[in-house]
C-alpha cells in the first residue's frame, strides 16, 4: 500500500517558485482592492492604480456606484493592502473598490463591491474584510459561484477572532490567515482546513495615507501577500482557474500538519 500523498515528498519537487512565478511582475493582471479606497498619491503606489469606484447606500437603502474624480482613502486600510500587492507584483494594475470609509461597512456595500469586481473582470479580487452575519450566506455563495466559473480569483482574509467569517469559509476562495514570516514570499499551507494558507501578517510594513508607512498586524495584511503571488502566477500562466492556482500554492507553501 502506498503512503498518503502528503507524505510523498517527491511530488512536491515538481513545482518550484521559478516555474510558478519566476521572472513575473504581474503585468497585465487586474487586481481589485475591495476596501476603504487607495491613496493614489502615495509614492509607493505611483501610476499603479488604474481606476476605481465608490459604493454608497442612501437612506432608502438604495445602492449607488460612482466613479470619483480622485481616488482616495481616509482610513488607510485599503492603501496598506494595495501597497503590499504592489510590492510583490509591481506591474499589476490596481483598482480601488471603496466599500467603507471607516473600517466598518455595511454588508450590502460589501456585496455590491464584490459584484462590481466580478462583473468588471478583475483577475484577482482582494477582500481584506469580512462579516460574521450569516444572513448574507446565500448571496455570497451565488456571487462566489459566478466568480469561480468566470475565472475571477478571490483572496479573502480570515477573521482575526476564532469565529469564522464570510466569505472565507467558502471553498471557492483562497482563504488566508497570518503568521510571523519575515520573507514576503513565504507562506504556509494547511491541508484539510477551511483557512488554507498563512502568509506574513505580523508587523508588516505598509504604505499609509499621507506618504508614510506603518507596521501592520492581522489577517487583512496577510491576504494581499497571497493576492500578489496569485497576480504573479496568472501573469506568467494566463487563464488558470482558482483550483489550479490553489494547487500551485499548496505545492509551494510550507506544510502544516
CA atoms of 198 and 67, how far apart (whole Å)? 34
Tell which phi-psi region holds residue 61, choosing left (phi > 0), alpha (psi between -120 and 50) or beta: left
Burial class (CB in 10 A: 0-12, 13-18, 19+), 107: middle
Per the annotation, the verdict on 172 as an active-site residue is: no
- With DSSP H G I counted as helix, E B as strand and the rest as coil, what are the percentages for the chain, rounded to 5? 35, 25, 40
Burial class (CB in 10 A: 0-12, 13-18, 19+), 112: buried
Name the catalytic one among 35, 39, 73, 198: 35
Per the annotation, the verdict on 220 as an active-site residue is: yes
Name the catalytic one among 36, 92, 220, 235: 220
CA atoms of 181 and 159, how far apart (whole Å)? 19
Name the catalytic one among 48, 73, 77, 128: 77
CA atoms of 133 and 205, how far apart (whole Å)? 31
CA atoms of 53 and 41, how far apart (whole Å)? 17
The partner residues of 33 in beta bridges, in order of sequence, read 96, 126
Number of Cβ atoms within 10 Å of the Cβ of 194: 12
C-alpha cell at 148: 469561480
Which positions are catalytic?
Answer: 35, 77, 220
Amino acid at each position: 500500500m502506498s503512503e498518503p500523498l502528503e507524505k510523498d515528498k517527491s511530488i512536491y519537487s515538481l513545482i518550484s517558485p521559478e516555474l510558478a512565478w519566476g521572472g513575473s511582475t504581474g503585468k497585465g493582471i487586474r487586481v481589485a482592492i475591495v476596501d476603504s479606497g487607495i491613496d493614489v498619491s502615495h509614492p509607493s503606489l505611483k501610476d499603479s492604480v488604474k481606476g476605481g469606484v465608490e459604493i454608497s447606500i442612501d437612506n432608502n437603502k438604495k445602492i449607488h456606484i460612482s466613479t470619483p474624480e480622485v481616488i482616495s482613502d481616509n482610513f488607510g486600510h485599503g492603501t496598506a493592502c494595495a501597497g503590499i500587492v504592489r510590492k510583490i507584483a509591481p506591474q499589476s494594475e490596481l483598482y480601488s473598490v471603496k466599500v467603507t470609509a471607516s473600517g466598518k461597512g455595511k454588508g450590502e456595500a460589501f456585496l455590491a463591491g464584490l459584484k462590481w469586481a466580478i462583473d468588471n473582470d478583475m483577475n484577482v479580487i482582494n477582500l481584506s474584510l469580512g462579516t460574521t452575519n450569516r444572513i448574507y450566506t446565500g448571496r455570497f455563495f451565488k456571487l462566489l459561484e459566478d466568480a469561480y466559473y468566470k475565472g475571477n480569483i478571490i483572496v479573502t482574509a480570515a477573521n482575526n477572532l476564532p469565529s469564522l467569517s464570510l466569505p472565507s469559509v467558502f471553498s471557492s476562495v483562497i482563504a488566508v490567515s497570518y503568521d510571523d514570516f519575515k520573507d514576503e514570499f513565504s507562506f504556509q499551507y494547511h491541508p484539510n482546513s477551511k483557512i488554507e494558507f498563512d502568509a506574513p501578517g505580523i508587523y508588516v510594513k505598509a504604505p499609509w495615507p499621507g506618504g508614510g508607512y506603518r507596521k501592520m498586524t492581522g489577517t487583512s495584511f496577510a491576504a494581499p501577500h497571497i493576492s500578489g503571488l496569485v497576480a504573479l502566477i496568472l501573469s506568467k500562466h494566463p487563464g488558470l482557474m482558482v483550483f489550479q492556482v490553489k494547487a500551485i500554492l499548496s505545492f509551494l507553501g510550507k506544510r502544516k500538519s
